[in-house]
Amino acid sequence: MKNSLLKAFITLSVTCIAIGSYAQAKIKRPHVLIGANVSYSNPQSNFANTYKFGVGGEIFGGIGAGKTYLVVTLGTAKFMGQKENPYGNLTYNPVKIGLRQFLILNKIFVSGDVGTAYLKDKTMSNSVSRLSADVGAGVRLLGLEGGIYYNGWKSVHTGGFSGNVQVKLGWSITL
């Protein structure tokens, strides 16, 4: 009887160790992504009639498994008004959440974000919020990254959307 219990205990222990080892091999710990970018924005369509260009920056952090990351981004940009623009320069401060998917050799990625942007120009006493979204792609090599994005939000003073093409350069690391 003791011998049978000892064999059962040993069999159960070996089975638990084998299952635990298999689970550790299959379950990967999540990765953390952090980084920062500077950006140059080229207004498009009707937005280009009132603004010449924009410059800004952002910080981001994310968590992911494998090649997919859930990313939170905080940013700021200033769009310089055209001479005939009655609104002056526009300050744009987005808070977004999105996904970043790495593709080839974890070097090329696609990204999309959605969130709220706080906008203010010289005619506003307080900033207004608008739904803002972007989609883009980039390359990451040795911690440096660059990308091109299309960003937009519902216009403040006119109907339609304010869109711009952004070129971003910066760094990111995964832990």
Domain-embedded: residue 68:
yes
25 DSSP assignment: H
Q: Give the predicted TM-score (pTM) of the model.
A: 0.82
For residue 115, give the nearest of 132, 91, 99, 92 by alpha carbon: 132
Q: Structurally, how many domains does the chain consist of?
A: 1
Per residue in 11-50, pLDDT (tens digit) is 555 554 545 555 455 567 789 999 999 999 999 998 999 9
Residue 4: pLDDT above 90?
Answer: no
Residue 22: the pLDDT is 52
In a domain, 2, yes or no: no
Give the tens place of pLDDT for each residue, 123-170: 988 999 999 999 999 999 999 999 999 999 998 887 788 999 999 999
Structural domain span for residue 116: 31-174
Three-class DSSP category at 124: coil
Max avg pLDDT among 8-12, 18-22, 56-60: 56-60
Indicate if the pLDDT at residue 1 is higher than 70.
no
Side-chain half-sphere exposure of 32, counting CA atoms within 13 A: 3
Q: pLDDT category, 111, cuts 50, 70, 90?
A: very high
The pLDDT value given to residue 156 = 87
Please list the residues that pair with 135 across neighbouring strands.
Answer: 112, 150
- Can you give the length of the chain in residues? 175
Q: Is residue 25 part of a domain?
A: no
pLDDT band at 6 (very low <50, low <70, confident <90, very high): low
Q: Is residue 17 part of a domain?
A: no
Would residue 15 count as lying in a domain?
A: no
Separation of alpha carbons 139 and 157, rounded Å = 36
Residue 156's φ and ψ, nearest 5 degrees, are -85, -50
Cα separation, 135 vs 160, in Å, equals 18
Amino acid at site 134: D
Contact residues for 3 (Cβ-Cβ < 8 A; gap 6+)? none
State the Cα–Cα distance between residues 121 and 77, nearest whole angstrom: 12
Supply the CATH number for residue 152's domain.
2.40.160.20
| CA 10 – CA 175 distance, rounded (Å) | 38
